[in-house]
Structure formats: structure tokens, C-alpha cells
């Protein structure tokens, strides 16, 4: 299946999708439903895949693709999509906020009244730097009125990192210190296993977003369904997106 709907209660008039690697036009190693134009795939195949994605969206919808750089900038409504950004907010019906991933954590947001949606690219650098908090601020609604979904990402068993990653989170950790400790488990030598879902969930809760739903699947552990940069290196990208229906 090329796209799936997140298991996430959403208000009427909101659509959300996350893709797998199945059912597209790309050849190996990007086989087959690669949606990224920056990974060395055949541009014709990427356009065919994006056209197939567009056909799955509500009539009149369009996708705003971002130039992602593992940062914290948020593109709001009709801002310049050519500038680097790792999150997007939309109040405009039909304009989908979309995030490309292949191990990083995709996070989708929606206000409970369905008037504003957002998507954030939460690799460890952006997550430690505050991309989720920046996205919440850009939505300009009470955090208690926001619901969030954490999509498939590299799981803690596969995501071994150095001590500098723990230090980056510890330097600006807004939540309970026990939550930071719980998100890192010992690995080999000074290496640690990091849990992106746990880190994101703790930061969202600290920011006031308590309605958080998770898809715990590990991208690195399922080569038949998901792309994984950590596992494969040269590979494609999946998309997670959300929009207010036209």
C-alpha cells in the first residue's frame, strides 16, 4: 500500500496520510514510492510518484514541499518554500503540510477545532534544537488545544548514537530529567540507544500538548515497508502530511 492513514482521531474536514516505500515508479535503490527529489533518483520517477500521491489527496489539494535541513525554522501559510525549513503550518484549506523522512521522526499536528494543521521534521538535531516547540508557537493556539501524531521512525534498538547527542538534549531539556534519562539506554562503550518517540513525547508534554498518538514502528527494522537511511544509506524518502480539506 502506497499510503496509510494514521491511527489518530481527527476533527471533521482534516486529512492525514503517511506513505510507505511500496507501489511507486522508482528503481532500486530508491524502489519504489520515493517522493524526494534530492536523493539521486530519476526525476521522471519522482514526478510520477508525486502525481500518484496527488491523486490520492482530496480534489483541489496541493502539497507544499520543504527544503529540509535538520533545523527549526517553520514555514507559515504562504511563506517562501524555497528557503530552508523543517516544519510547516497551514490555515489554508487544500494546502498540505508535508515532511519527508527515512528514519527521522515525522510529527503531525492539528488543532482540536480543525482550523490549523502543521507538520515537523524531527531528526535528533531538530528535536534537540526545539523544532516541535517552534511549530507549536507558530500554530498560535493554546497547546492544550493541539493534538499530535508521531509517525514511524528509527527505533531505539537500531538508533545507536554518541554521547554528544545526549549532551545536545541535556543542554536545553524542558521536561522532567527522568524522561531524558529514560529515553537513552546504554549501548557499546560510550554509545547510547536513543528513543526519538520518547524524546518527542516528553517535549510535547512539557510544551502543553498532552494529546499525543504514536505509531511505534521502526523504519530500520522493516526494509520491505520503510526506507531507512541508517540501514541503507542511498535510499528514498517517505512522506507524512496533513491538510485542511478544500
Q: What's 54's domain CATH number? A: 3.60.140.10
pLDDT tier at 81, thresholds 50, 70, 90: confident
Note whether residue 172 is domain-resident: no
Note whether residue 125 is domain-resident: yes
Pull the grid cell for residue 23.
507501489
- The total of structural domains in the chain comes to 1
Q: Which of 78-87, 155-164, 192-201, 226-235 has the lowest mean pLDDT?
A: 78-87
pLDDT value, residue 227: 98
- Beta strand 87-90 with 105-111 is unpaired
**CA–CA distance from 174 to each of 126, 132, 183, 208 (Å)?**
15, 12, 14, 11
Residue 80 belongs to domain spanning: 3-157+208-244
Q: Are 216 and 31 in contact (CB under 8 A)?
A: no
Q: Which of 78-92, 125-139, 149-163 has the lowest mean pLDDT?
A: 78-92
**CA–CA distance from 62 to each of 44, 55, 167, 237 (Å)?**
19, 10, 39, 19
Note whether residue 169 is domain-resident: no
Q: Are 107 and 151 in contact (CB under 8 A)?
A: yes
pLDDT digits (tens, 9 = 90+) for 52-61: 999 999 999 9
Note whether residue 219 is domain-resident: yes
pLDDT tier at 195, thresholds 50, 70, 90: very high
pLDDT digits (tens, 9 = 90+) for 218-236: 999 999 999 999 999 999 9
Note whether residue 131 is domain-resident: yes
User: Given strand 160-161, what is the order of strands in its sheet?
Assistant: 160-161, 192-194, 184-186
Note whether residue 239 is domain-resident: yes
Mean pLDDT for 137-154 is 98
Amino acid at each position: 500500500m502506497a499510503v496509510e492513514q494514521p491511527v489518530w482521531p481527527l476533527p471533521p474536514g482534516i486529512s492525514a496520510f503517511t506513505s510507505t516505500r511500496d507501489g511507486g515508479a522508482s528503481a532500486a535503490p530508491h524502489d519504489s514510492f520515493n517522493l524526494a527529489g534530492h536523493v539521486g533518483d530519476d526525476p521522471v520517477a519522482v514526478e510520477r510518484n508525486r502525481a500518484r500521491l496527488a491523486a490520492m489527496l482530496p480534489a483541489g489539494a496541493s502539497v507544499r514541499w520543504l527544503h529540509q535541513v535538520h533545523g527549526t525554522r517553520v514555514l507559515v501559510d504562504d511563506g517562501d518554500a524555497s528557503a530552508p525549513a523543517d516544519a510547516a503550518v497551514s490555515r489554508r484549506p487544500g494546502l498540505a503540510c508535508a515532511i519527508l523522512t527515512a528514519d527521522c521522526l515525522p510529527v503531525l499536528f492539528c488543532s482540536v477545532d480543525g482550523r490549523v494543521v502543521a507538520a515537523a521534521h524531527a531528526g535528533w538535531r531538530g528535536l534537540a534544537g526545539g523544532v516541535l516547540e517552534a511549530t507549536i508557537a507558530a500554530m498560535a493556539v493554546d497547546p492544550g488545544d493541539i493534538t499530535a501524531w508521531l509517525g514511524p521512525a528509527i527505533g531505539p534498538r537500531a538508533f545507536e548514537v554518541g554521547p554528544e547527542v545526549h549532551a545536545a538534549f541535556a543542554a536545553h531539556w524542558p521536561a522532567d530529567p527522568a524522561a531524558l534519562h529514560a529515553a537513552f539506554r546504554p549501548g557499546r562503550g560510550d554509545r547510547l540507544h536513543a528513543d526519538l518517540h520518547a524524546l518527542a513525547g516528553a517535549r510535547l508534554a512539557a510544551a502543553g500538548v498532552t494529546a499525543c498518538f504514536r505509531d511505534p514502528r521502526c523504519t530500520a527494522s522493516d526494509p520491505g515497508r520503510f526506507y531507512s537511511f541508517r540501514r541503507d544509506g542511498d535510499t528514498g524518502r517517505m512522506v507524512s502530511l496533513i491538510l485542511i480539506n478544500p
